[in-house]
Structure 1
Amino acid sequence: MGIFKKDPLKIITFRSYGTPTHLYVKGRALEDENIDLSKKGFFNLLWNTYKRFETDLIKNAPLILTLPDGRKITTETDNQGYFLIDETIENLMPLIDENGWLKYEIFFAEKFPKRIIQKNNKFTGEVMIVPETAKFGVISDVDDTIMHTGLTSRFKWQVLKNTVFKRAEKRIPLEGAVDFYEKLKNGKSGNDCNPIFYVSHSPWNLYRYLEVFLEKNNFPKGPILLRDFVNPFAKKYIPIAIGTEKPQKQKEITNILKTYPKLQFILIGDSGEHDPDIYIEIAETHPERILAIYMRSVNHAKKMIRVKGLFEKYETVPVLLVEKSNAAVEHARQIGFI
C-alpha cells in the first residue's frame, strides 16, 4: 500500500460509458507523481515520461462511489490498483446532464495513517449515457488513426520520439480527422449525437496524455478505453486459432456491443498493426451490428500488401482503405451516415 512513502494518494477516473440502467466505471488508485504536462524542455519531458510509467499503485483499497442522488456503490482496487464497477443500477436517467454525461464522486473508504489524500478525498468522474437520438456508434483507434504515432517504424523509434519528446497539446491530429469525427457524431440529421468511443492499445499510463490531445484538438468527447501496461513492444494480436486470449482492445469493443445491443457501429482503425484482424473477427461475429470499417493506410509497403489481401474479396461489411479523411467523408456521405 506504500504506507511509508510521502507522495499524496489519488484516484484517477477513466472516462467511460453506460446506459440509464447500467454503469461501467473504470479507474486506478495511485500515488501522485505530480506530472505537469505543460512543462517544456528535453529533461522535463523525459522526467514526465518516467513518472507516467513508474507508478506506485494502491492495491486492495476499498473505495466508495457516490451518485448525484446520494446512492453509493462500493468497490475495491485489484493488485495493480485498478477498479471496475460493471453492474445494473436502476433509474440513472434523472442524473444525466444536458450533454448526456453522468458525473459521480469516488473516494477512499479507509484512512491512511500519516498520508495525504489529494482533493480532500473527493475525486470526480463521468460516464457517457448514449442518447435515444443516436443512429449509430463509432469505435475508433487512436494510434496512427487520428494521431501519428509511428508504430510501423523500425524498433518503434518514432513511438518513443513522439510519446516522450512531444507534449500532448503539440501533437497534430491526422489531416481531416477532427472534421470527419464531428460529422459522424452529428449524423445525417446534423443533431443525432452519435457516440464516439476511443479504444486503443496504448497503456492506461498515457490516459491523461491522450485526454489532453483529444480535448486540445476538439475531437468529440467520448470514453477513452486503454489497456494495462505490460510491454510496449509486445504483439497486440495473435490469431484466435492458436487458442490465446483475445486482446484487451477486442474485449472492450465486444463489451460496447453488448452494452448497446440495439445500436450499430462504424469501426475506424489503421492498417499499420492489427486493427484489420480484430475488426474482421468482430464483423464476422456480429455482421448485423457493423455498418462499415474504415482503415487508414500507413506508409509501410509490406503491411499494406497484407491488409489489401485481407480485404480484397471481403464482403461481410463495407470496408474502405483510405489515405486521407476526405475519402472517408465522401464514402460516409454516399452511404448516408452523414
Structure 2
Amino acid sequence: MTFLILTRQGYDDLMAQGATLEAIWVNPDVISDDEIEQLRQRGVALAVLPERVDPQAPAEREAAALRLADDGPLWIEYAPPDAAGALADTSQEAPSSRLPRALQQAQESAARLARLAGRRFKRFAASDGAAIVIPYIGYGTTGRLLLRGRVLKDEGFVTPEAGHSGWRNLTELYKRLGSDEVPGARLRARFQGAEQEIVTDDNGYFQAELILSQPVDAGWQQVALELLDPAPAAGQASATAEVLVPPASARFGIISDIDDTVLWSNVTNKMRMLKMLAISNAHTRKPFKGVAAFYRALHAGADGNEANPLFYVSSSPWHLYTPLVDFLRSQNLPIGPLMLKELGVKSLFGAGRHQEHKLASIERIFGTYADLPFVLIGDSGQEDPEIYRELVLRHPQRIKAIYIRNVNPDPERIEAIDRLAEEVRASGAQLVLVPDSEYAATHAAGEGLIAAGAPAEVRADKRGDESATAAAPATAATASTPGA
C-alpha cells in the first residue's frame, strides 16, 4: 500500500494512526531529513516527489497519481478547497492570544479531527468507476413506506472479517469516510405497483415516500431500486431496500442510541473514538455485556410474541451505516432502522446539532406511529437525558420508560441526571440511571415490559460475554470492547 502525502498535516494525521507503513511518496519540504531517515530505518520505502504538487489543484494531484499508480494500490491525500481556512496553522499566534492550556489542548484535538473529516485519503483510480446504490433500512406503515439511501462511486468496499488486521480496518475506514457521492443521480423505486423517481441531493443522498393503494402486511417489505442516471457502466445498477412495518401485536417501540449505549465508542473523546474505529470492525467490536439479550427481550415483549420495533438513532455519520448494520447482525441484536447524521465538522462538534438531529429523528418516528408508546434508551455521556426529558415534555403520554446507561462517573453529572429524573417523574414517566443491562432488565420486568424470566437470560448473556472476554487472547485485547 502506497500513500501520496502532500501536506504536513496529512503526514501528521497518517502517522497518528500508528499504522505499519509500506511506502510513502511525499511533497518536498513536508518532512525533515531526520524524519526521512527514521522512516527508512523502520523499513518504509520513502521517496520525495521531484517537484511540489499543489494539494488544492486536482489536475496536479491526478498527474502525480498517474505516474505512481503502476506501483500498486495508491492512496492520495485529498484536501477539499473549502477546507483550507479550517486547516490554517495557528501555531504562530502571539503568546498573549493563546488559550489556557486545557482549552488549547481541546482545540488542538478538535482541529485534528476536523482535518480527518475534511481532508481525506482517497484510493486513486484511472477512471471514476461505477456508481453503486446503498439503501438504508426504512420504516413505515401498512399504507406508507419511507426509505432513504445514497449513491456513491464504487470504492471497492470490503466486508469486514474477524481476522482483519488493524491496518486493514484503518484502510476500510478511510475508504468509507472518503467515499465520493454522486449528486443529481436519478433512481426509480418500485413496490407492488407503487413507483417513484428520486433524485439525489448535493451529497448523494435520496429519500422516498411510497403511498400504497392497497395496505400491505406487517413485517419486512422489500422495495426495488434502480439507478437510471448516470447510466451504469456495466449492466443494471440495482439494490433492494428493506422497510420495517411493525405488526399490530407491538405494544411499544424502542428507540436507542448506539454510541456508549449499545457499544463502547468513547464518543465524548472524538480522537479516541476514531482510533478505536480504525483498529476494530463489526466482528471484533463487542456490545456492552448483556445488552443483546436485553434488546431481544424488549423486542419480544412480555408475552414473547409482541415483535416491538427497534429504532437506532445515533450521531455516527452515514458513512458508517454498513459497518453498524454488520455489527448488529454479527452480535445478534434486533435489526431496525438506523437514523444517522451527515458527516461534517460542525455536525461532529456541535452539541446543538446533536440534539437537533436526535429530536428531529425521534419526532418523525413518533409522527409515523401516532398510537404507539415508546421506551427510550441512551447514555449519560452526551445529551441523551436532556433530549429525552424534552420529548417527555412534548409527549407526556408517549414514554413508558427511559433507561440511561451510566458511563460518566462525575458526581455533578449524576446529580444533574437525578434532577432530570425528578422532572420526568412529575409527568408520569420514569427516567432510570442504570449501571448495566441486567439492572435495566430487572426494572423493565417489574414494569411489565419484558417477560418475568428475561432478566435471568440477560444475566446469563452478560456472564457469557464476561467469560468470552476473559478467554480472549491477549493479542485481541486492543480490538475488544470494555463492558459494564
Q: TM-score, normalised by structure 2?
A: 0.63
Matched, 1:130 2:278: no
Do the aligned partners of 1:152 and 1:300 also contact (CA within 8 Å) in 2?
Answer: no
Match of 2:223 in 1: 104
The CA deviation at 1:105 is 1.1
AA aligned to 1:79 is D
**Correspondences of 1:130-149 after superposition (within 5 Å):** 130-149=246-265
Letter of the 1:320 counterpart: V
| Contact kept in structure 2, 1:20 and 1:90, CA below 8 Å | no
Q: Are residues 1:65 and 2:184 paired?
A: no
Question: What does 1:13-162 align with in structure 2 at a 5 Å threshold?
Answer: 13-38=135-160, 40-67=164-191, 69-93=192-216, 100-112=219-231, 116=233, 120-153=236-269, 156-162=270-276
Mean CA deviation greater in 76-85 or 296-305: 296-305
Say yes or no: does 1:336 pair with 2:458: no
| Gap runs ≥5 in structure 2 | 1-125, 451-484
Identity of aligned residues (%): 34
1:290 alignment partner in structure 2: 399
**Paired residue for 2:373?**
264
- The verdict on how the C-alpha distance between 1:129 and 1:61 changes in structure 2, with shifts beyond 3 A counting, is same
User: AA paired with 1:106?
Assistant: L
- Structure 1 position 307, deviation (Å): 2.5
Inter-partner Cα distance in structure 2 for 1:214 and 1:193: 17
User: What whole-Å deviation, never above 9, does each CA across 1:238-274 have from its counterpart, x for those lacking one?
Assistant: 7xxxxxx962221110000000001000000001001
Q: Compute the RMSD of aligned alpha carbons.
A: 1.9
SS in 1 for 2:173: helix
* Bigger fraction of residues in helix: 2
Shift of 1:313: 4.8
Amino acid at match of 1:319: L
State the number of aligned residues. Answer: 319
- Structure 1 residues 276-285 or 295-304, which shifts more? 295-304
Q: Which one scores higher on RCO, CA 8 angstroms, separation ≥ 6?
A: 1
Deviation at 1:230, TM superposition (A): 1.1
Query: 2:382 corresponds to which residue?
Result: 273
CA distance in 1: counterparts of 2:356 and 2:221, whole angstroms: 28
Superposed counterparts of 1:296-311, under 5 Å:
296-301=405-410, 302-311=412-421
Maintained 8 Å contact 2:389/2:424: no
| Code of the aligned partner of 2:208 | I
Tell me the SS of whatever aligns to 1:55.
coil
Q: CA deviation at 1:233?
A: 3.9
* Kept in 2: contact 1:13–1:26 (CA 8 A): yes
Q: Does the CA-based 8 Å contact 1:138-1:195 persist in structure 2?
A: yes
Determine whether 1:250 maps to 2:359: yes
Query: Structure 1 residue 186 and structure 2 residue 308: aligned?
Result: no
> What is the CA-CA distance between 1:21 and the residue it aligns to?
0.8
Structure 1 position 160, deviation (Å): 1.6
Partner deviation per Cα, 1:215-256 (whole Å, 9 max, x = no partner): 000001211111111126412337xxxxxx962221110000
Residue-by-residue CA offset, 1:156-183 (whole Å, 9 max, x unaligned): 3331222111111111100110111111
3-state SS, counterpart of residue 266 of structure 2:
coil
Quick one: which amino acid aligns to residue 269 of structure 1?
Answer: G
- Name the SS for the 2:323 alignment partner: helix
- 2:236 aligned with 1:236: no
Q: CA deviation at 1:329?
A: 0.6
| One-letter identity of the residue aligned with 2:171 | W
* Residue 204 in structure 1 maps to residue 327 in structure 2: no
Offset of residue 87 of structure 1 = 4.8
**Alpha-carbon distance change, 5 to 282 in structure 1, aligned in 2, over 3 angstroms:** farther
Give the structure with higher Rg (CA).
2
Q: 1:16 touches 1:225 (CA, 8 Å); kept in 2?
A: no
Give 3-state SS (helix, strand or coil) of 1:120's partner.
coil
